[in-house]
Structure 1
Amino acid sequence: MGAGYKIIVEDIITESAKDEISTWTFSETTTGLFMVLGIYLLVVVKLLPAYMERRQPYKLTNVLIVYNGFQVAYSVYLVFIYARYLFNFGIITTRCPKGEALQEVITEIYPYFIAKHLDLLDTVFFVLRKKDNQISFLHLYHHSAMVSWTWLHLLHHPTDHFVCVGLLNSFVHVLMYAYYGLAALGPEYAKFVWWKKHLTKVQLVQFILVVSHLYYQQKLTPCPIPAFFHYFCMTSIITFFFLFMNFYCRSYRSRRTKKNICEQKDDVTVKSE
């Protein structure tokens, strides 16, 4: 009886060990994250601007064409792998993967983790081209928050909780980098990027879908993520929505108002003549 009980306990311990995935502690994760973000912000806010202060902006045409082309292809790949996962396990995933299944999930998180770090090159290129108006609080906050999200997701609490989020975000990036790639080709291609202002609309819709999904995913899954992580993600996306909405209103509605004012002035001038 005792020997049999011992064997059963050992089997349970062995099976539990197989289900364990080694992750970083929260302290280790935040330490590594702060180092990455610290280097990023130091480079794009201090070091590179100081280097470019007395220099002419770089054109980087060929570099940008290659970079944006790669980003489009890479984002298409992410859309494919996450769409495949959702097709197999549903939009609201409830499988709670462990062991080998969780390791497979982690393998598919890595490409997204890499993508969010590659996106930081956007800021580097803006600085080198002296596109200072592009380096706004929204731009820096958005990149920093997404990198933070992926560090917590991959290194501290790996889960399939965010597959739908990765799909939506990667699809938007296909459109975004396609626009940047066409714009990098030169003014003669401007007629092909008439849909620029609609990108922000797509992003706003994306944020609404992501918040909705995060809410129901956390509510319906049998294995919810830690509350602090859930609220960090929700707060980030809601903040993105309002910042992007403010950007849209300032960028496009103000232009429309100025255009209407100019048309009214022209009309008054014609009548006076």
Structure 2
Amino acid sequence: MNFTSIPALDSVLQQYHERYASVYGPWWVSLKYPHILPWATVAVYVSMVFGMPKLMKAVGLEKGINVSPIMKVWNLFLSVWSAAMALGTGIPYIIFMYQEGFFTGLCDERKGLYEPSTMGMWANMFVASKYLELFDTFLLIAKTPTREVPFLHWYHHTTVLLFTWYAQLYSYTGAIFMVVNATVHTFMYWYYFRMECGHKPSWAFALTIGQISQMFVGIFVNGSWMFMRWYEGRNCPCTAPGIITAACAIMYASYAFLFLQFFFKRYYSAPTVRTEKKKQ
């Protein structure tokens, strides 16, 4: 093997940057149809959540369809894809924050995150992934149409899709949200993949803690951004700061409440404790 034919690492990274760099901001579709696409998608999705079980019952499929093979592949794909997005946005963002400072990186006064970069490309992919993740619900309903889709599940899917879309549309600096969310989803979808394969991972408790921690990180980051923009007077970029930060605060606060409710119900409710004692 001729090792001299292998390009230097910096050359490889340069080629990667030149090929995949893009601006962290709206795509052509969000410029042409900034509101129709997300809201139409949410309308169709919610209609599916409440209408699909009734439709399946009407056509004699109330026992469900065997979609387990599809769910295995889908969850594995989303786990790997989430890992790619976590690394794609995380590595350049960590470098950026190391050079600029933690809080400066949160505010991004110089709009360094909006320069053409590979992180911009992965950020666009992250927004698109929120549309792909809606397919999770379709598979869950197809598998067990008699089981009601939990409010937390469909509420989370719809609000995340809308927030990430508008955060990008209005240029809100949300890179750290993407890094944390993609990282948590890497493990979450791997957990679902393992469950579909018939193996129950032992780290379900840790995963739930990670999901809850994500909400408090979001509250802290959004609060820090608001403090820097309106109290310190920094020029943190956003074309609709009031709407976006209010939506972010409400979204993460509601997530924190709902996930904590789920956490205590799953791990500390009386029926669960009794079940664990019986197993022992």
Please say which of residues 84-93 and 138-147 is displaced more in the overlay: 84-93
TM-score, normalisation: structure 2: 0.75
Between structures 1 and 2, the one with greater helix share: 1
Instruction: Name the structure 1 match of 2:72.
Output: 65
**Unaligned 5+ runs, structure 1:** 1-19, 267-273
Question: Aligned residue pairs: how many?
Answer: 238
> Structure 2: how far apart are the matches of 1:51 and 1:199?
34
Change (3 A) 1:260 1:178: closer
Instruction: Name the structure 2 match of 1:217.
Output: 225
> Structure 2: how far apart are the matches of 1:100 and 1:172?
24
> Structure 1: how far apart are the matches of 2:158 and 2:74?
20
Change (3 A) 1:70 1:199: same
Matched to 2:40, the amino acid is M
Superposed CA RMSD: 3.0
Q: Structure 1, residues 25-51: CA drift from partner, whole Å, max 9, x if none?
A: 9995333322110111112221x2123
Change (3 A) 1:77 1:26: closer
Matched to 1:73, the amino acid is V
Matched to 1:137, the amino acid is F
> Structure 1: how far apart are the matches of 2:49 and 2:159?
16
TM-score, normalisation: structure 1: 0.77
Matched to 1:239, the amino acid is S
- 1:51 is the counterpart of 2:55: yes
CA offset at residue 151 of structure 1?
A: 1.5
Instruction: Name the structure 1 match of 2:34.
Output: 29
Instruction: Name the structure 2 match of 1:78.
Output: 85
- Rg larger for: 1
Q: Structure 1, residues 216-255: CA drift from partner, whole Å, max 9, x if none?
A: 1333352243111111011101100001111111222114
- 1:199 is the counterpart of 2:207: yes
- 1:107 is the counterpart of 2:121: yes
| % identical aligned pairs | 19
Q: Structure 1, residues 120-161: CA drift from partner, whole Å, max 9, x if none?
A: 11110110011654611111110000000122023x2134x1
Equivalent residue in structure 1 for 2:259, among 237, 241, 244: 244
> Structure 1: how far apart are the matches of 2:174 and 2:120?
12
Q: How does 1:85-234 map to 2 (within 5 A)?
A: 85-90=92-97, 91-92=102-103, 93=105, 94-97=108-111, 101=115, 106-130=120-144, 133=147, 135-154=149-168, 156-159=169-172, 161-186=173-198, 189-190=199-200, 193-220=201-228, 222-225=235-238, 226-234=241-249
